[in-house]
Amino acid sequence: MKAVVKYAPGPGNIDVLDVDEPECGPNQVKVEIAFCGVCGTDLHVLHDTFRNYPPVILGHECAGTVVEAGRSVTGVTLGDRVTILGATAVTCGRCMYCSAGNFIFCKARRGMGHGVNGGFARYVVVRPDQLYRVPDDFTLEEAALSEPFAAAVQAVTEITRVRIGETALISGPGPIGLLCLKLLVAEGVKTIVAGAAGDDQRLDAARRIGAAVVVNTATTNLSDVVLEETQGVGVHVAMECSGHADSVRGCLLALRPMGRYTQVGICGRDITFPMDQIFYKQLTVAGSICYTAATWRRMMAIYAQGKVRLHDLVSASLPITEWRAAFDLCQDRKALKVVLHP
């Protein structure tokens, strides 16, 4: 089968190669990939700024159909439409983080798409516990957004715990920011979305999704808009989804005293920001990275309730042979979400 492979360590070293189809072991399930999303992590694997283990097939945001189940596997039916929790592909299962369900912090962990083979290919084999069945009315294309959506579910509902009646700021209208917005809008939470120069298309998407106000900080002062929208007191919660120093500052300034700040974006370097905002306003600051299996179960419940659909966030769907064009679309911040298909 054709697959997008990081074939050697270092920057670059990615190509479409012919590889053997994976064998389905007795405790495994073979899934035919329908769609697999491209995300910032893939770009980092390309540039070698995210840990990877070549040779490895890229892609960790998969959805597809079960085509084979090993003889010891129960509870899985051929034809099941599924999305895959790839991040648990390898964990030790014994450390204090694994035993508490917080596998993301396991030192032995290797996720699909950089640690073990991922979904930019026709087939993957996984353990049955990595599969989550998607509702019949969900397309597999939008189901491929489940992995980033799970990160949004954790950030909004489990870490920030946004409550009805609060006003939220999302700074950074990339895919994760827009997925957070989807949840907040579904809950009826008034949400301001801020972006920077070059974010116009994504801010338009935020408006369509249901942001109360969108702000391009290149032309408009965010603090002024926030004060106007919050009777002069600031937002209850701010979710930083871009990793830019200006955005971090904007969030800290926008928060009201005793507000909650959540870091969802990756800065990738040391930055300068007004620390005293945290002191004088007695802010609560948190980080949110990925999700747990419990988050994925919560996400499936959200899907089942029918309040959130994700198909309008897919702005391009390309064959895996055009991975380079797909990566470029992600890099230039114009596309919302790009998915590849075999």
Sign of CA dihedral 116, 122, 125, 128: positive
Nearer to Zn ion, 4 or 69 (CB): 4
Name which position in 98, 125, 134, 314 contacts Zn ion (CB under 5 A).
98
Q: In this chain, which stretch among 90-98, 177-185, 228-236, 254-262 interacts with Zn ion, using CB under 5 A?
A: 90-98
Residue 267 binds Zn ion (CB under 5 A): no
**140 Cα distance to chain centroid:** 16
CB of 229 to Zn ion, least distance (A): 31
Nearer to Zn ion, 236 or 337 (CB): 337
Nearest-Å Rg of the Cα atoms of the chain is: 20
Triad 140, 141, 147: Cα angle to 5°:
85
Nearer to Zn ion, 41 or 262 (CB): 41
Q: Tokens 């516990």 map to which residue?
A: 129
Structure token pair of residue 24: 């389905």
CB of 38 to Zn ion, least distance (A): 8
Q: Please choose, from the candidates 26, 151, 136, the residue with its C-alpha nearest in 3D space to the C-alpha of residue 80.
A: 136
Residue 211 binds Zn ion (CB under 5 A): no
Residue 135 CA: distances (Å) to CA of 58, 61, 140, 245, 307:
26, 17, 10, 39, 12
Name which position in 31, 39, 112, 194 contacts Zn ion (CB under 5 A).
39
Residue 125 host element (H or E): strand 123-126
Residue 106 binds Zn ion (CB under 5 A): yes
Nearer to Zn ion, 19 or 95 (CB): 95
Residue 95 binds Zn ion (CB under 5 A): yes
Q: What 8-state DSSP symbol labels residue 112?
A: B
Nearer to Zn ion, 44 or 133 (CB): 44
Pairing of strands 61-69, 81-84: antiparallel
CB of 90 to Zn ion, least distance (A): 10
Q: In this chain, which stretch among 67-75, 86-94, 175-183, 323-331 interacts with Zn ion, using CB under 5 A?
A: 86-94
Residues in contact with Zn ion by the rule CB under 5 A: 39, 41, 91-92, 95, 98, 106
